[in-house]
């Protein structure tokens, strides 16, 4: 079996190392720069959460050109959202007629509205796929939905630090179970992941998003770890209000959230003082994944005609922070805010 990891960062390296070490497949990487050089020299490297050991494995091949790697059985996309359109344009050499594509990414994926009836429409979300570039490049029939429940970081190029969690949820975008997803779930389980074959992966995606849609950008703006965000009653009330708006959207698109914001905050508090991925990006000077995590939720709300004043404020503040610090585009292509000038 041939597997390619696109984006061998914190999540891509985590998945790639586990799969390669399991010895069930030839695991290659499409990477660039210092990460590519590190993979070529040292292979896959994953530090255990307790620091007691480093898991290593051989990289079958590593290149910054998809043409060098050829058609794969499975392609795992683990890049940041802002990079996906460019990645999708160059993926064709990796895709055979039966290749599965597993986007292990944050937020609302580009395919989320595909085939969904009702007022939300099936048109790609402008906030995550302006012009439908990704939809045209990656056939929906080859996509498997994915939710990652793990905390990792990349302290240096080519090295991943596992912090907590090893859950992967996979499922058909249209819902239900299938033999191909079951086979993928078994492969991931043998590689050491706690894998769930979901019959409603859209709901799983929305539920995770509902939990981190506020915590990620608030931490990024303030520089506060999650324990400090949760400890501020005014900030927490704002986050809860935005979560209620997202829950209302979810109930309209077949992704109801039964949990209360208070109960979700209690779950998050158990993780302690940690920096979520968007804060890690700010600290590293990387572009923030604001569109898939916040703007997409807001866009769906707009399509449904639902008011989202707290999500609007969250998006506006995070967008302004990102632009001031050079971490978010000054003029996003296609997506124009209606509640405030872009």
Sequence ranges of the domains in the chain: 2-199, 205-324
Say how many Å lie between the first and final Cα of the chain, rounded. 46
Q: Which of 2, 80, 208, 270 is catalytic?
A: 208
pLDDT of residue 331: 67
pLDDT digits (tens, 9 = 90+) for 283-323: 999 999 999 999 999 999 999 999 999 999 999 999 999 99
3-state DSSP: the chain helix, strand, coil percent, rounded to 5?
45, 20, 35
User: Annotated catalytic, 270?
Assistant: no
**If one looks up domain 205-324 in CATH, what number appears?**
1.10.1040.10
Q: What is the pLDDT of residues 8-35, one digit of tens each?
A: 999 999 999 999 999 999 999 999 999 9
DSSP labels for 267-304?
HHHTT-S---HHHHHHHHTPPP-HIIIIIHHHHHHHHH
Structure tokens of 38? Answer: 């590190």
- Domain made up of 2-199: CATH architecture: 3-Layer(aba) Sandwich (3.40)
> Same topology for domains 2-199 and 205-324, yes or no?
no
With vertex at residue 206, the alpha carbon angle to CA 137 and CA 16, rounded to the nearest 5 degrees, is 55
In total, the chain counts a number of residues equal to: 342
Residues in the chain with pLDDT values less than 70: 117-119, 331-342
């Amino acid at each position: 079996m041939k597997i390619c990891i696109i984006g061998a960062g914190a999540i891509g390296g985590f998945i790639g190392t586990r799969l390669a070490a399991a010895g069930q497949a030839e695991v290659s990487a499409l990477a660039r720069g210092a990460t590519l050089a590190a993979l070529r020299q040292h292979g896959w490297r994953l530090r255990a959460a307790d620091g007691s050991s480093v898991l290593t494995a051989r990289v079958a091949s590593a290149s910054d050109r998809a043409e060098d790697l050829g058609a794969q059985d499975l392609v795992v996309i683990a890049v940041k959202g802002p990079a996906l359109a460019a990645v999708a344009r160059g993926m064709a050499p990796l895709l055979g007629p039966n290749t599965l594509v597993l986007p292990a990414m944050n937020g609302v994926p580009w395919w989320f509205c595909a085939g969904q009836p009702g007022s939300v429409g099936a048109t790609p979300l402008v906030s995550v796929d302006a012009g439908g570039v990704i939809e045209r490049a990656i056939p929906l029939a080859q996509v498997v939905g994915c939710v990652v429940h793990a905390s990792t970081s990349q302290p240096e190029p080519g090295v991943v630090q596992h912090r907590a969690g090893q859950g992967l949820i996979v499922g058909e975008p249209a819902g239900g179970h299938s033999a191909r997803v079951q086979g993928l779930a078994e492969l991931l389980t043998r590689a050491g992941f706690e894998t769930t074959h979901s019959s409603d992966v859209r709901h799983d995606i929305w539920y995770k998003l509902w939990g981190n849609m506020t915590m990620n950008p608030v931490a990024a703006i303030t520089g506060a770890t999650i324990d400090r965000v949760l400890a501020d009653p005014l900030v927490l009330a704002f986050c809860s209000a935005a979560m209620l708006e997202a829950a209302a959207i979810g109930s309209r698109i077949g992704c109801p959230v039964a949990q209360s914001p208070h109960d979700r905050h209690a779950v998050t508090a158990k993780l302690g003082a940690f920096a979520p991925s968007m804060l890690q990006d700010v600290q590293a000077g990387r572009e923030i994944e604001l569109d898939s995590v916040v703007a997409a939720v807001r866009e769906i709300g707009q399509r449904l005609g639902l008011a989202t004043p707290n999500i609007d404020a969250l998006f506006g503040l995070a967008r302004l922070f990102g632009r001031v610090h050079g971490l978010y585009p000054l003029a996003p292509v296609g997506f124009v805010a209606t509640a405030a000038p872009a």
